[in-house]
Amino acid sequence: MEHKSFLQVDKLDNGIFQLGINRPERKNALNTELVVHLADTIESLVNSEVARVIVIYGLEGNFAAGADIDEIATLSPKQALLDARVSAWRRIRQCPIPIIAAVEGYCLGGGMELLLSCDFAIAHKDAKFGLPEVKLGLMPGAGGTQILPRLIGKNRAARMIYSGEIMPASTMEKWGVITDLCDEEVLEAAVSIATKIARNAPFAISQAKQSLNNSVEMGLESAMSFERQTFSILASTTDKTEGIAAFKEKRHAKFTGN
């Protein structure tokens, strides 16, 4: 186990890493140092070529109860535009390997936007979600007004953002914000899913992730062209040869990412 300020990093088997947000005295509110360190850590894990899946969670019962209000209170317009968090959020979103959010307790404001920056999320049935920035005279500023409507539609996103309402996990599952509801151990469930992902070909997954992202960022024909080009690249990889051989021989494939 490795402790770095507000982040706890745990390496599991099969290239799975757990990143635990660790500011329990502030309900894991996301300050600049934490968000930048999270982005730096994710980049470091990707560059190590060891990590295959990352699971982000919050320690001591809350995922993240928003941004740090003390920081926001003193933020000037110029600082907001030049904030180090802008680049950090982008780096998290652009991570080439899968990131799963495992949510318990409060997932509000910046915490909700962190969830939206992940590939998908699972949650405890009693978790609470919201984008309450308008109650502070602000609005979501790290993807809430852009990523959420792409996920659940403009009308539902508008209701959530304009009201600042705290929403139950059951609604978030119904709307498609989270994929799975858990009665008990959310982190354990997330690691179970991560284990299934980590068994598959890592280069194929990274290319599939880019293609999925293109589905909401590109026009259809451009995205389809990228998908076909990427498929053709994968057709010549060692992992493809191994995957086909393992299937024919009825054994587990041993993928290397090549």
Superfamily of domain 2-198 in the CATH hierarchy: 2-enoyl-CoA Hydratase; Chain A, domain 1 (3.90.226.10)
pLDDT at 3: 40
> What is residue 108's three-state secondary structure?
strand
| Catalytic residue, candidates 123, 133, 169, 198 | 133
Q: Would residue 189 show up in a list of annotated catalytic residues for this protein?
A: no
Q: Where in the chain is the domain with CATH 3.90.226.10?
A: 2-198
The structure tokens 């968000």 sit at 35
Catalytic residue at 80? no
**Integer Cα distance of 113 and 15 in angstroms:** 25
Q: Does residue 133 carry a catalytic annotation?
A: yes
113 among known catalytic residues: yes
For the domain made up of 202-249, give the CATH fold. Answer: Lyase 2-enoyl-coa Hydratase; Chain  A, domain 2 (1.10.12)
Active-site residue, selected from the candidate residues 20, 66, 110, 144: 110
What single-letter amino acid sits at 155? N
- Contact at 8 Å (CB) between 188 and 122? no
Q: Kindly report the number of other CB atoms within 10 A of residue 46's CB atom.
A: 17
Non-local (6+) Cβ contacts of 85 within 8 A are: 32, 35, 36, 142
Express each pLDDT in 113-167 by its tens digit: 999 999 999 999 999 999 999 999 999 989 999 999 999 999 999 999 999 999 9
**Which residue out of 39, 113, 130, 157 is catalytically annotated?**
113
What is the pTM assigned to this prediction?
Answer: 0.91
Nearest-angstrom CA–CA distance, 64 and 117: 13
Distance separating alpha carbons of residues 254 and 258, to the nearest angstrom: 11
| pLDDT tens-place string over residues 200-240 | 999 999 999 999 999 888 889 999 999 999 999 999 999 99
Of the listed 67, 88, 189, 190, which one is catalytic? 67
